[in-house]
Amino acid sequence: MVCPLLGLSDELQLMIVELVVAQDHGREDLVSLSSTCSTYRLLLAPIIFDRVTLLNDAESAASAIALANSHHGQYVKQLRFEGSLNRDGYRRVIEQHTEGLDINKLRTIVQEAREKLFPESVYRVLSDLQHWFSKLDILTIRIEEQNAAWYESSPLPVGVRDLFDHPDLFKATIKRRKIHNWGQLQAKTYEALCENQNHNIKTLQILDLSRECDALDDPKFHKFLERIRTVGISHVLACRKRHGSAHYFETTRYLSRRFIDHLPSVQHLKLKGPVYGAWSYEGLPYDWTKEATLPLKVTQMPQLKSINLSRTLVSQEMISFFVSHQDTLEHITLQNCYAYTPTQRTVSGRILGEGCSRLS
């Protein structure tokens, strides 16, 4: 017996929609369904247009602005910003040969590369999120690492070492430009975020966090953080060839100053270290002489309800933090975490056991 979908009750149709969304590629299926008739276009619009991805190129910004100015802009609740040096417009400028060009032409190319790297239209969107998407609730930031091999065994990044020994001067020059511009991309991204002093964003996710960003020390950024209730941070992938990474230790050291000290409203915190940061599931850290424990203080995050830590060293200070927050803390999740005793430079389950007994 044939039963037309439109002939079902509204409740049953919505149940079917929820089941479709839960499947792999479910959102794509809903887009296809919405194109079948006006009824489903109206019904599915709040689901299909609840999120938008913004890239650091003018075309992406134009699409985001067009969505914001349309009737569907009211449905956007999630925005994901993806920053990368692999955008076509930027690459066409930065990779052109400059041999024999005069200084004025070179300056023009440099300026054009900066404009392509982070167009003004992208800045307009990212610096006034409340204006464009008034119901925005979740913001995700990810800036693609320029060179994942920067954090290999050499004390200098691979990209930096290539500046000195690369046989092709043209390619070495491109690397040098990209290293500088990668830092500029990060700076412009967080500079734009700092302009959002009046926002309703409740969830902030920063993926592949790098320590190489002084904009995170800006008081305006700390002001931006004050209203956030849920924070998720993952570190950029560290070295694959050894356990331990100076990059990870440095990033951990800065977490309090740049983030945790400025989260008075946060209720849920999730921190994820890199697989090859201080350690991995394949072995213990290669060097316990470096301090990599998470700098948590009893005065931080007074409203914290849940904390989820992955690949993070558990210290006595962290246990004290847990105990001091026992009136608000409801969930503590530790994944692939080791307990660290700095005086003995050893790991064990002892500190974890003591902490659990004190919390109980």
Per-residue pLDDT tens digits of the chain, which is 360 residues long: 445 666 566 666 677 666 666 666 667 766 766 666 777 777 778 888 899 999 999 999 999 999 999 999 999 999 999 998 888 777 777 666 655 556 666 667 667 777 888 999 999 999 999 999 999 999 999 998 765 433 333 333 444 444 444 455 555 555 566 667 788 898 899 999 999 988 999 999 999 887 667 889 999 999 999 999 999 998 755 444 344 445 555 567 788 889 999 999 999 999 987 765 554 344 444 444 345 567 788 999 999 999 998 877 787 888 899 999 999 999 999 887 777 665 544 454 444 544 555 555
Number of domains in the chain: 2
151 shares its domain with 217 = yes
Cα first-last separation, the chain: 59
36 shares its domain with 112 = no
Strand partners, 206: 141, 233
Final residue of a structural domain among 48, 69, 84: 48
One-letter amino acid of 253: R
pTM comes to 0.79
**The domain containing residue 44 runs over which residues?**
1-48
33 shares its domain with 82 = no
CA distance 359 to 349: 16
One-letter amino acid of 268: H
Closest to 65 measured CA to CA, from 158, 154, 127: 127
36 shares its domain with 59 = no
115 shares its domain with 242 = yes
Alpha helices for 85-206 (secondary structure H): 88-94, 103-117, 120-126, 129-132, 158-165, 169-194
35 shares its domain with 171 = no
43 shares its domain with 86 = no
Alpha helices for 195-232 (secondary structure H): 219-225
Half-sphere exposure of 70 (CA within 13 A, CB side): 12
34 shares its domain with 119 = no
99 shares its domain with 31 = no
Asked if 213 contacts 190 with a C-beta cutoff of 8 angstroms, the reply is: yes
106 shares its domain with 129 = yes
15 shares its domain with 154 = no
203 shares its domain with 76 = yes
